[in-house]
Amino acid sequence: MRFWIAAGFALALAAAATVMLKNEYYFFAGYTVLMFVVLATAWNILGGYAGYVNFGTPAFFGLGAYSAAVLFKATAAPLALQLLLAATMSGLLGFAAGMLTLRLRGIFFAIATIALTVIMETLFINWRYAGGATGLQLLRPPPTVPFESYIKMLFVLMALLAVAAVAIARYIERSWIGRGLRAIRDSEEAAECSGVPTLRLKLFACTVSGALMGAAGATMPMYLSFIEPASTFNLNYAIGALASPMIGGTASYLGPVIGAILLSTIQQVVTVTISGEMNVMIVGVMLVVFVVAAPEGILGLFRKFVSSRKP
Amino acid sequence: MNLIKLLATAFGALVISCAAVAQQPIKIGMSQPQTGSLGAAGKAELVAIRMWVDDVNAKGGLLGRKVEFIVYDDQTNPALTPGIYTKLLDVDKVDLLFAPYGTVPTAPIMPLVKQRGLLLMGNFSFQVNHTVKHDMWFNNLPAADAQSWFTGFFEQGQKSGAKSIAFLAADQEFAQNLANGAKELAQKAGLKTVYSQNYPPTTTDFSSLIRAIRAAKPDMVFVCSYPNDSVAIVRAVNEIGVGESVKLFGGGMVGLQFTPVMESLGSMLNGIVNYNSYVPGVKYAGIDEFFQRYQKKAAEEKVDPLGFYLPPFGYAMGQMLEQAVNATKSLDQKKLAAYLHSNTMQTIVGPISYNKDGEWSQSRMLMIQFRGIADKNLEQWRQVGKQVVLYPPAYKTGDAVMPFDKARGK
Amino acid sequence: MPLDLLLEAVIFGVLLGCFYAAVSMGLSVSFGLLDVPHVAHPAIMVFGAYCTFLLTRYGLDPIVTGVLLMPPFFLLGMAVYRFYYEAFEKRGGKEAGVRGIAFFFGLALVIEVGLILGFGVDQRMVEAAYIGNSLSIGDMRIPLRFLVAFGVALVLMSALMLYLSKTFTGRAIKAVAQDEPALRLMGANPVRIKQWAFGIATAVAALSGALLIIIGPVEPGLDRVYIGRTFSVVVLAGLGSMTGTLAAGLILGISESIVLMQFGASWAPAVSFGLLLIVLGFRPQGLFGR
């Protein structure tokens, strides 16, 4: 219950911000932060709960973005439909990729996911209708009432998506699915022997993870009014999606949220004040530091702090 | 009595606040490739733009206010420009915009400026407005369409009976715009396309592509490329050659006009027929004096020491905006656009007037052939005759030496 | 495709493939033999390329520079392994695997951004007598830079293979890969041996970096392309097989070359990754795997 109250509060805050704040740049930056909350939460379903490190976030994210862009170019469909198609396509990709690669262990799975990203990128580079390597310029329609600007609308939409993603992750974590995934993470062989349907659970996690990443990508083309393969399928999305839960804590649905908000906000501030490269460096350094020194992330540190205080 | 005092204070406050507003500078913002493929020319152009800003401020500014210039590096990366221009508009709150140098960084921001109803001074982009059709776009490129580019190239080929053509183009906005336009013209002229390939912009090795071109035995090779690839292509041609059948090679290779590139390629450039915007010998009012001032500053800042290609047009971009602001006495985007559409502006690269697409109504793009270039010699580029002008007729200084291998001295 | 073009594509593929094999040999040692998920290997190679660029500005030949860089990179490799061991391998468990990968990814990122901050995003090249000229055989022109890279790569690989099979430490490295507890029982310290091996792998990366910048211009993001190529080669070869690495490198080089000729440059990047997925799907132990 507390979760839903908090979620409702967060949404109300987002809606209030669109009325109170005038400077569009806050929404521009806020959209990016919320997008990484979705990506990190989605990543954690497969990466944190099941222990399968996925470097292929850009493949799902990019497929979602391009599905939305191509649908818009072909039919000028509204945002809701674009989102639906994006989530479906990326979910299908998650299922297919899962069938192919979830039988591989550890690093092989990770490298296979990088392969997926490059192959998706190459496919879109060669598809002229979607713009090829040159890219596609898109003219977006005016924002729907009651929003006065498109970016505010996207911000609220992304906030809704973030709440939905976290709710889904929370549900999975607390259900028998989550228990099964944790069993897989701790010892896949033992889980198999105990009767856990490992392949089905992994496929489920992969599909849901992919669909959420696709949904996160769906609004990118409208956000930028432009889409091109190199930046859409950029490995930086993989890094952000992976680093946020590693920093925040992979065991619970709160970890990715904390990690994403922290990391993404720092990145936005650094990009505006120092430089774009510096923010990638900061992600890299923070990732290394947390992975070495705080393996359970911020949540883990918090838990240790709380338990050390107990008499 | 009190009422008078109150009124006087109010009036005084009003005057002071007006003066305060008047002291606020007019902000002009842009992103510019200062690193990456277009970086060399981008940095050079910034010297010219800053010269314009200084000149305007020396004359008292625009509308009595100083001009403040804000610029960020977009690394020739089109993914960065939407974010940069949003920052310029929402965080830095600029009043007027210049586009980044080049088609590739500019393409992504066209929808953004159209949506926000903003004037954009175009900066050497090619056909970047042809899908968005923004009516407040004004380009400083002396070529409106592929015709201005291809005609000169093709006419020379015709003189030696060229019947077939090969196309090599980078898969990015500029090269594709130009290649598509050129292919249409080639078809209309009855040329046979024996080879046509697009390559990813990140390609660094052209050995296989050049080999394939050689195998197709074309009479002409039309290349549309950006500086990094142009250099790699010239080196590959030097390494393995394109074959004896080729009469003309080049066309739309960006980068072969940047002084550092010309200096490093040296004699490898001989024989290549390519475009340029200015070469020594072409006369415009005020341009010689510009070069004297520019070259002094460029030497200090260690950028393109000659500055023939882009800097004068960057300065001209500023001049046009200055004339519009002074004539309309406002910063209103629509009024400025209306002025620019209906007048001819006088600049250091000649008079400029626009058609309804925001491109030059009269093209002045030069097609040149490199001749007699020696290695590692910077001063030779100041001489007339190292880049022989083949087209347009008004500036022509000679005909092309063909075939390509003979012009290369091989 | 006409026969003479096909022949040129194959020759080109062999030259390039040998280079890919040399680059991947370092990974074959660190990942194939030692099981370290070294995603940062290509990044270290690119770092080596930039170091070569810096040193050639003092007039040194790039290959000489590459060889000179090998000792400092060897020490760097030992230090990196030591850190990895203390932080991850010692603690063990599946968590270590996940975090180990994340660590090396972070390392690769830090190296890449460090290069951008230090050198900018612009491409860098080196100059040498053999760069820019080509060998003419009949109607074919083979750029000398590929021949030079091919030659050095062959020498490097032969040296490494001889070392692993003939010297005491070399064989100890292979032993530690096969059966670590047995080695420990025989009195050798597996950690020291693994550290030594990782150092060698990193030294190989240094020379590969020099070859990289000879073959073509480099820019900081180049490591991302090579993650695909090197892992593709190592997996196709079968973990731990050096001869397999050579064969796999050649296969990759030739396939890339033919795809480039036939389908165009825009499909070439997918070749290495496509090959990887096929191998992982049908024969995960690779051609010569253990």
Instruction: Using an 8 Å CB-CB cutoff, list chain B residues near A69.
Output: none
CA–CA separation, A211 and A217 (whole Å): 10
Using CA coordinates, name the residue in chain C closest to A127: C266
**A200-214, A257-271, B43-57, B316-330: least confident range:** A257-271
Confidence (pLDDT) at C122: 79
List chain B pLDDT tens, one digit each, 410 residues: 577 776 766 666 666 655 555 578 999 999 999 888 898 899 999 999 999 999 999 999 999 999 999 999 888 888 888 888 988 998 889 999 999 999 989 999 999 899 889 999 999 999 889 888 999 999 999 988 888 888 888 888 888 888 999 999 998 889 999 999 999 999 988 899 999 998 888 888 898 889 889 989 999 999 999 999 999 999 999 888 898 899 999 999 999 999 989 988 999 999 999 999 999 988 898 999 999 999 999 988 888 899 899 999 999 999 999 999 999 999 999 999 999 999 999 999 999 999 988 999 988 899 999 999 998 888 999 988 899 999 888 889 988 888 898 888 76
Point out which residues pair with B350 in neighbouring strands. B347, B348
Confidence (pLDDT) at C276: 83
pLDDT over threshold 90, residue A278: no
Tell me which residue has tokens 């078809």.
Answer: B187
Residues whose CB is less than 8 angstroms from the CB of residue C80 and which lie 6 or more positions away in sequence, other chains included: C107, C198, C202
CATH number for the domain harbouring residue A222: 1.10.3470
Using CA coordinates, name the residue in chain B closest to C130: B239
Instruction: Using an 8 Å CB-CB cutoff, list chain A residues near C276.
Output: 111-112, 115
Q: Are C73 and C44 in contact (CB under 8 A)?
A: yes
Instruction: Using an 8 Å CB-CB cutoff, list chain C residues near A242.
Output: 102, 105
pLDDT over threshold 80, residue A95: yes
* Angle of helix C41-56 versus helix C222-237 axis, rounded to 10: 130
Using CA coordinates, name the residue in chain B closest to A27: B90
- Kindly report the length of chain A: 311
Confidence (pLDDT) at B20: 57
Greater model confidence, C4 or B213: B213
By Cβ distance, the residue of C94, C99, C113 closest to A185 is: C94
Instruction: Using an 8 Å CB-CB cutoff, list chain B residues near C146.
Output: 207
Optimal mutation site among A125, A137, A154, interface B, most CBs of chain B within 10 A: A137
Q: Tell me the C-alpha to C-alpha distance, in Å, between residue B327 and each of A252, B313, B320, B324, B332.
A: 64, 21, 11, 5, 12
Confidence (pLDDT) at B13: 62
Confidence (pLDDT) at B17: 58
By Cβ distance, the residue of B79, B91, B109 closest to A25 is: B91
Q: Is B250 within 8 Å of chain A by CB?
A: no
Instruction: Using an 8 Å CB-CB cutoff, list chain A residues near B114.
Output: 139
Largest separation between any pair of C-alpha atoms in chain B = 98
Helix (H, G, I), strand (E, B) or coil at C230: helix
Q: Is A228 within 8 Å of chain B by CB?
A: yes
Intra-chain end-to-end CA distance of chain B, in Å: 96
CA dihedral (B284, B286, B289, B290) positive or negative: negative
Say if residue B193 is exposed, middle or buried (CB neighbours under 10 Å; 0-12, 13-18, 19+). middle
Residues whose CB is less than 8 angstroms from the CB of residue C170 and which lie 6 or more positions away in sequence, other chains included: C162, C163, C164
Tell me which residue has tokens 């592509």.
Answer: B209
Q: How far is B76 from chain C (nearest CA, A)?
A: 10
CA–CA separation, A125 and C267 (whole Å): 9
Q: What is the C-alpha R_g of chain B?
A: 23
CA dihedral (B92, B96, B99, B101) positive or negative: negative
pLDDT 10s digits, C118-128: 888 778 888 88
By Cβ distance, the residue of A55, A106, A295 closest to C97 is: A106
Q: Is B198 within 8 Å of chain A by CB?
A: yes
Confidence (pLDDT) at B21: 56
Q: Do A235 and C37 touch (CB under 8 A)?
A: no
Q: Do A225 and B111 touch (CB under 8 A)?
A: yes
Q: Is C133 within 8 Å of chain B by CB?
A: yes
**B104-108, C50-54, C69-73, C130-134: least confident range:** C130-134
Optimal mutation site among B86, B94, B120, interface A, most CBs of chain A within 10 A: B86
On the CB side of B319, CA atoms within 13 Å amount to: 21
Mean pLDDT over the full length of chain A? 87
Q: Do A276 and B80 touch (CB under 8 A)?
A: yes
Instruction: Using an 8 Å CB-CB cutoff, list chain C residues near A283.
Output: 109
Instruction: Using an 8 Å CB-CB cutoff, list chain B residues near A32.
Output: none
Q: Do B36 and C122 touch (CB under 8 A)?
A: yes
Instruction: Count up the domains in chain A and report the number.
Output: 1
Confidence (pLDDT) at A240: 87
B-contacting residues of C 72-111, CB under 8 Å?
none
By Cβ distance, the residue of C9, C141, C264 closest to B241 is: C141
Optimal mutation site among A26, A134, A152, A232, interface B, most CBs of chain B within 10 A: A134
pLDDT over threshold 60, residue A193: yes
Q: Are C242 and C174 in contact (CB under 8 A)?
A: no
Q: Is C184 within 8 Å of chain A by CB?
A: no
By Cβ distance, the residue of C266, C269, C277 closest to A112 is: C277
Q: Is A54 within 8 Å of chain C by CB?
A: no
Q: How far is B239 from chain C (nearest CA, A)?
A: 5
User: Which chains contact A through at least 3 pairs of Cβ atoms less than 8 Å apart?
Assistant: B, C
Instruction: Using an 8 Å CB-CB cutoff, list chain C residues near B171.
Output: 266
Q: What angle do CA B78, B83, B84 make, to 5 degrees?
A: 85
Residue A279 burial (CB count, 10 A)? 22
Q: Is C261 within 8 Å of chain B by CB?
A: yes
By Cβ distance, the residue of B107, B108, B132 closest to A139 is: B132
Chain-centroid distance, C-alpha A253: 13
Instruction: Using an 8 Å CB-CB cutoff, list chain A residues near C98.
Output: 47, 51, 53, 106
CA–CA separation, A271 and A149 (whole Å): 24
Say if residue A152 is exposed, middle or buried (CB neighbours under 10 Å; 0-12, 13-18, 19+). buried
Q: Do A140 and B111 touch (CB under 8 A)?
A: yes
| Closest residue by Cα to residue A162 from A9, A4, A11, A13 | A11
Confidence (pLDDT) at B249: 94
Enclosing domain of residue A192? 2-309
CA–CA separation, B233 and B241 (whole Å): 10
Stated pTM of the model: 0.87
Q: Do A108 and C102 touch (CB under 8 A)?
A: no
Q: What is the DSSP letter of B393?
A: G
Confidence (pLDDT) at B102: 92
Q: Do C141 and B240 touch (CB under 8 A)?
A: yes
User: What token pair was written down for A74?
Assistant: 């072909």
By Cβ distance, the residue of C2, C216, C266 closest to B205 is: C216
CA–CA separation, A144 and A201 (whole Å): 39
Residue B172 burial (CB count, 10 A)? 27
Tell me which residue has tokens 């007729």.
Answer: B393
Q: Is C224 within 8 Å of chain B by CB?
A: no
Confidence (pLDDT) at C133: 80
Phi, psi at B65, each rounded to 5°: -115, 150
User: Which chains contact B through at least 3 pairs of Cβ atoms less than 8 Å apart?
Assistant: A, C
Greater model confidence, C23 or C139: C23
Instruction: Using an 8 Å CB-CB cutoff, list chain B residues near C266.
Output: 171, 198-200
Q: Best-predicted range by mean pLDDT among A42-51, A205-214, B184-193?
A: A205-214
Structural domains of chain C in order of their starting residue, each with its CATH number: 3-282 (1.10.3470)
Instruction: Using an 8 Å CB-CB cutoff, list chain C residues near A116.
Output: 273, 277
Instruction: Using an 8 Å CB-CB cutoff, list chain B residues near A118.
Output: none
Q: Do B108 and A230 touch (CB under 8 A)?
A: no
Confidence (pLDDT) at C193: 87
Mean pLDDT over the full length of chain B? 89
Q: Best-predicted range by mean pLDDT among A163-167, C113-117, C241-245?
A: A163-167
User: Which chains contact C through at least 3 pairs of Cβ atoms less than 8 Å apart?
Assistant: A, B
Chain-centroid distance, C-alpha B257: 10
CA–CA separation, C105 and C250 (whole Å): 27
Q: State ipTM.
A: 0.83
Q: Sort strands B164-170 and B220-225 into parallel, antiparallel or unpaired.
A: parallel
Q: Which helix (H) or strand (E) holds B196?
A: strand B192-199
Confidence of residue C95 (pLDDT cuts 50, 70, 90): low
